[in-house]
Amino acid sequence: MIVNAYAVLTAFVSLLQFAIGLLVITSSLGRGRVGTPVDVENRPYLLLLLSFLLLGLNLASWPLLYALLQSYVPSWPDVMCIYGVTRIGTGSVGSARHLPWLLSTVQCAKPLLVFLGGGWFVLYLANRATQTAPLLPRLLSGLLPLGVVSVADALCVGTYLAIPKQEQSLSVGCCTSAMADRSRFLPESLLGPGPHTWLTVALVIVVVGLCLGLLGAIRHGRQHHRYVLGLLAGTVVAIPLGGLFLIEIASPTLLQRPHHCPYDLVTEVPESVLAVALFTLGCFSVGWAAVATWLGRAEETLDVLPPLIGRVLFVGLFGYLGSMIMFTLEFSLS
């Protein structure tokens, strides 16, 4: 166990996530049936306040995780960046063998939590604009997956923090093995050598298409199910393309060396993290708009939803455009 300021802060946040997540789960299970206006007025205030706190904790815990991993980098002589930290425990025979999969799970859970929280918040905004809160049962049901994932995430982070980060290998004592093992800390290209121009072209086409689609949805009010489904499909294609682009093209170009490691960008080109965050915001916003389109439908929300969805899509458009502008400038200046 490595104890530093970030580890203590992460442990504290995880503890809060765990406790509030459990409270939210138990409360949402017990209050699933809210039917009368009296129920609406009396019951869910504390639950909603707890949910907002959980949303904030989940959001804060995402960058905190990477700050923690960055603080662990000097702990091992061979490790040069966060990628190396994520590889600690690989091939180990002790409890450290669980570290890589725990970290992978946490790295997947963080964006999932932010997406779930954002979707829930958009439904909350739609519900708040109505007179009789027709979406309240759906809001309370939506807290269940949010609470479950939060608790699971907090457990994984807590376990990761508690496991000793000392690797025990069967090949200890053999300097040749130790040398050969060094390569596991070097991030490799996923697609092999080559310029991969097709990847850049494909991503630009998809993102420009998405921006035009979003502009159409915002300016001309095209927000029916099929149109939002089209935008969602474009986003589903953009996410893996964006990830590959970051690893294969953006990282080596911005770092100016053959490293396919997006983690290095955190310390060496920090503003590019904002570009990645904006791209993520763009993707998530389309997802949140889809959530509002499908789960926010009720007689009373028919007038509320179009402007709300329009604004969420507007945020998505801003995210995609901001990300494109930043990466274009970074590339032209590198």
Partner 1 sequence: MNPPVSWWWAAMAGLVTVGILPLVGQSMREDDRLRLRCRWDGRDIDAAYRARTLDDAGAVSEFCDVGCARSWMGRHRSLSRTILVTDEDSRELFDAGEAFFVRSSIETNSVTRNRWHVFRSRDRAEQHARESRGRLMVGPDHPFSFPIEIP
Binding positions for partner 1, rule: CB under 8 A: 77-80, 179-180, 182-183, 186, 218-219, 221, 223, 255, 257-259, 264, 268-272, 274-275, 278, 306-307, 309-311, 314, 317-318, 321-322, 325-326, 329-330, 333-334
Q: How far is the CB of 178 from partner 1 (least distance, A)?
A: 8
Q: How far is the CB of 311 from partner 1 (least distance, A)?
A: 5
Q: Which is nearer to partner 1, 56 or 221 (CB)?
A: 221
In Å, how far from its chain's centre is CA 218? 25
* Cα 274 to Cα 184: distance, rounded to the nearest angstrom: 28
Q: Which is nearer to partner 1, 39 or 181 (CB)?
A: 181
Q: Which amino acid is at 325?
A: I
Q: How far is the CB of 332 from partner 1 (least distance, A)?
A: 9
Q: How far is the CB of 329 from partner 1 (least distance, A)?
A: 4
245 Ramachandran zone, left/alpha/beta (phi>0; psi -120 to 50): alpha
Q: How far is the CB of 322 from partner 1 (least distance, A)?
A: 5
Q: How far is the CB of 9 from partner 1 (least distance, A)?
A: 26
Contact status, residue 126 vs residue 312, Cβ threshold 8 Å: no
Note the helical H segments in 129-270: 136-162, 175-181, 197-219, 225-245, 251-255, 264-268
Q: Which is nearer to partner 1, 32 or 258 (CB)?
A: 258
Q: Which is nearer to partner 1, 224 or 257 (CB)?
A: 257
Among candidates 249, 266, 267, which has minimal Cα distance to 258? 249
Q: Which is nearer to partner 1, 62 or 314 (CB)?
A: 314
* Cα 157 to Cα 144: distance, rounded to the nearest angstrom: 20
Helix, strand and coil content of the chain, in percent to the nearest 5, comes to 75, 0, 25
Q: Which amino acid is at 95?
A: S
Q: Which is nearer to partner 1, 219 or 226 (CB)?
A: 219
